[in-house]
Amino acid sequence: MTPATLTPVHSERTVPAPPRSRFRRRGPFLTPYVFVAPFYVVFATFGLYPLVYALQLSFTNWKGAGEARFIGLDNYTYLLTSEEFWSSLGNSAVMWLLIVPVQIVGGLAAAVLLANARLRLRGMFRVAFIAPFVTPLVAMAQVWIVAFDKDYGLVNHLLGLVGLPHVDWLASTAWAKPTLALLFLWKTTGFAIIILLAGLQAVPADVYEAAALDGASRQRQFWSLTLPLVRRSIAFLVVVQTLAVFQMFAEPFVVTKGGPYGSTTTGGLYLYNHITASDLGTGAANSFLLVLLVFALSLLSVRLLRSRDE
């Protein structure tokens, strides 16, 4: 009997994997941040840093040269007790009343007409509405100066043809603000129509079909369906135009220079006057007060236009 042959058993040796570098282990986690990093770098450089610097500057007295002297809340106290500051805000408030309600009503009517009515050359009308919005503002302001000139303007010429007296549109405290408001409306109403038209086109057609089957008239559909469903578009437009009106600068600067007698000096133009006077600390404080005011007005507008379910 032969002895059993013993087969040598070799122990299996596990070869350890090479150590992965720390960068490889974190690679999938860091990849998204690498792609979005340029945005944050640009935002921090051109957005966050100027904002923080302006806030710091608002507590100082600095004329653009030399050392900035810390004065606490003196700039804010000066502005809040300044008659010119409150007058500029009052002018902006009047301009808001002349512009935003008219633009909402007129823009919504034009958007409904473009969306529902069977108009010929509908595309041409859409281009005509948006053309003033993309036209340079300075060029339009120069046209406005010529058109509303007291002696040689087209508007007064047309008034003379029907026997009405000439009006000093740009040098009258009663007519200067409506003239600027008309320029702003002419410039930006096309933008309002595009926003409202987009809101109308997002409403499903079957909603109106169901309302028509229930016997709802066109007027009832407008008040019960159209207005509630485009409420968000209206709220967005109110916020954007409120910001634009209270920051309005180019229109009064080019057309009226803030006159006559400061009646068209808006919040944006009043802020510019501090910058040109090298009163940078007060200008920075003025800008933050405008930001707070516009934020409060925008929040109020959103709350008023918000539906009950939101």
24-49 pLDDT, tens digit per residue, is 556 567 777 888 888 889 988 888 88
Largest Cα–Cα separation, the chain: 141
Task: Please tell me the predicted confidence (pLDDT) of residue 26.
Answer: 60
Among 18, 42, 70, give the residue marking a domain's end: 70
Residues across the chain: 310
Strand, coil or helix: what is 199?
helix
Confidence of residue 20 (pLDDT cuts 50, 70, 90): low
pLDDT in tens, 210-228: 888 878 888 887 888 888 8
* Residue 109: domain span: 74-305
- When divided into structural domains, the chain yields a total of 2
What does each C-alpha distance from 215 to 115, 218, 220, 275 come to in angstroms? 21, 10, 10, 61
- The token pair at 154 is 């087209």
Quick one: 179 and 196 in the same domain? Answer: yes
Quick one: 117 and 246 in the same domain? Answer: yes
Q: Residue 2 pLDDT > 60, yes or no?
A: no
Q: Residue 14 pLDDT > 60, yes or no?
A: no
Instruction: Identify the H or E element spanning 274.
Output: helix 267-276
Mean pLDDT of 157-167: 89
Quick one: 49 and 165 in the same domain? Answer: no
Distance of CA 48 to the CA centre of its chain: 19
Residue pointed to by tokens 């007519």: 175
Q: Residue 9 pLDDT > 60, yes or no?
A: no
- Residues near 196 by beta carbon (within 8 Å), at least 6 away in sequence: 107, 108, 111, 230, 233, 234, 237
Quick one: 271 and 189 in the same domain? Answer: yes
